[in-house]
Structure 1
Amino acid sequence: MTAHKLPVLLGMPLAVLAGLGIAAQGRINGALGARLNDGLAAAVVSFGSGLVVIVLVSLLLPSGRRGIRAILPSLRERKFPRWYLAAGAIGAFFVLTQGLTVSLIGIALFTVAVVTGQSLSGLLVDRIGLSPAGKRAITPIRVISAVLTIAAVIWAVSPRFAQAEDASHWLLPVVLPLAAGFLMSFQQAMNATQTVHYGTPLAATLINFGSGVLVLLIAWLIKVSVAGVGNPLPSEWWYYLGGAIGCLFIGLSAWLVRGLGVLLTGLGTIAGQLLGSLALDLIFPTPGSVIATATWLGTLLTLLAMVLATLPWPRRKRVS
Structure 2
Amino acid sequence: MPPPSAARTGALPLAGAVAGGGALALESVVNGRLGEHAGPVAAAAWSNTLSLGVAAAAACVLSGLRPAFTALLAALRSRALRPWHCLGGVAGGSMVLTQALTAAALGPASYTLALVSGQTLCGVAMDHLGLGPGAPRRATARRLAGGLLAVCAVALPVLATRDADRTLALAVLPFLAGCALSWQMAVNGRVDEAAGKHPYPAVLLSFAAGTALMAAAVAALAVFSRLDRPRPGPPWHYTGGLLGCVVVLTAVLTVRRIGVLAAGLGMITGQVLGALALDALTGEAASHQAPAAAGAALLIGAAVLAAPSGTRPGPLAPEAADGPLGRRGN
Scaled by the length of structure 2, the TM-score of the pair is 0.86
Give the one of 217, 224, 229 matched to 1:231: 229
Report 1:238-253 matches (<5 A).
238-253=236-251
The answer to whether the aligner puts 1:294 opposite 2:291 as a matched pair is yes
- Can you give the 5+ residue segments of structure 1 that lack an aligned partner in the other structure? none
CA contact (8 A) 2:146 2:305 kept: yes
1:305 paired to 2:274: no
In structure 2, do the counterparts of structure 1 residues 155 and 76 end up closer, same or farther at CA, with 3 Å as the change threshold?
Answer: same
For structure 1, which segment, 128-137 or 169-178, has the greater mean C-alpha deviation from structure 2 after superposition? 169-178
Q: Does 1:198 align with 2:195?
A: yes
- CA displacement at 1:296 relative to structure 2: 2.5
Secondary structure in structure 1 of the residue aligned to 2:139:
coil
Distance 1:197 1:106 in 2: 38
Give the aligned partner of residue 44 of structure 1.
Answer: 45
User: What number of residue pairs does the alignment pair up?
Assistant: 310
Report whether the alignment pairs 1:7 with 2:9: yes
- Provide the residue aligned with 1:270 in structure 2: 268
Contact 1:191 1:254 in 2 (8 A): yes
The 5-angstrom pairing of residues 155-194 of structure 1 reads: 155-156=156-157, 159=160, 161-162=161-162, 164=163, 167=165, 169-194=166-191
* Mean CA deviation greater in 301-310 or 15-24: 301-310
Contact 2:192-2:202 within 8 A present in 1 as well: yes
Contact kept? 2:108, 2:278, Cα under 8 Å: no
**CA-to-aligned-CA distance 1:158-209 (integer Å, 9 cap, x gap):** 55x11x3x72x45443221111111211111110111112231111100110
Q: 2: distance between equivalents of 1:192 and 1:135? A: 13
SS in 1 for 2:122: helix
Please say if residues 118 and 181 of structure 1, whose CA atoms lie closer than 8 Å, have aligned partners that are also in contact.
yes
After TM superposition, which residue ranges in structure 1, 4 or more long, deviate above 6 angstroms?
313-316
Aligned partner of 2:30 in structure 1 is 28
Cα deviation for residue 140 of structure 1 reads 1.7
Q: CA RMSD in A?
A: 2.5
Aligned AA (2:11): L
Given the two structures, how large is their TM-score scaled by the length of structure 1? 0.88
Rounded Cα–Cα distance in structure 2 between residues aligned with 1:47 and 1:237? 16
1:94 positional shift: 0.8
Instruction: Return 89-98 or 77-86, whichever deviates more.
Output: 77-86
Mark the CA change 1:234 to 1:85 in structure 2 (over 3 Å): closer, same or farther: farther
Q: Percent identity?
A: 32
- Give the Å deviation of 1:279: 1.7
Match of 2:269, SS?
helix
The answer (yes or no) to whether the contact 2:24–2:247 under 8 Å persists in 1 is yes
Relative distance call for 1:153 and 1:171 in structure 2 (3 A) is closer
In the other structure, the counterpart of 1:16 is: 18
Q: CA deviation at 1:146?
A: 0.9
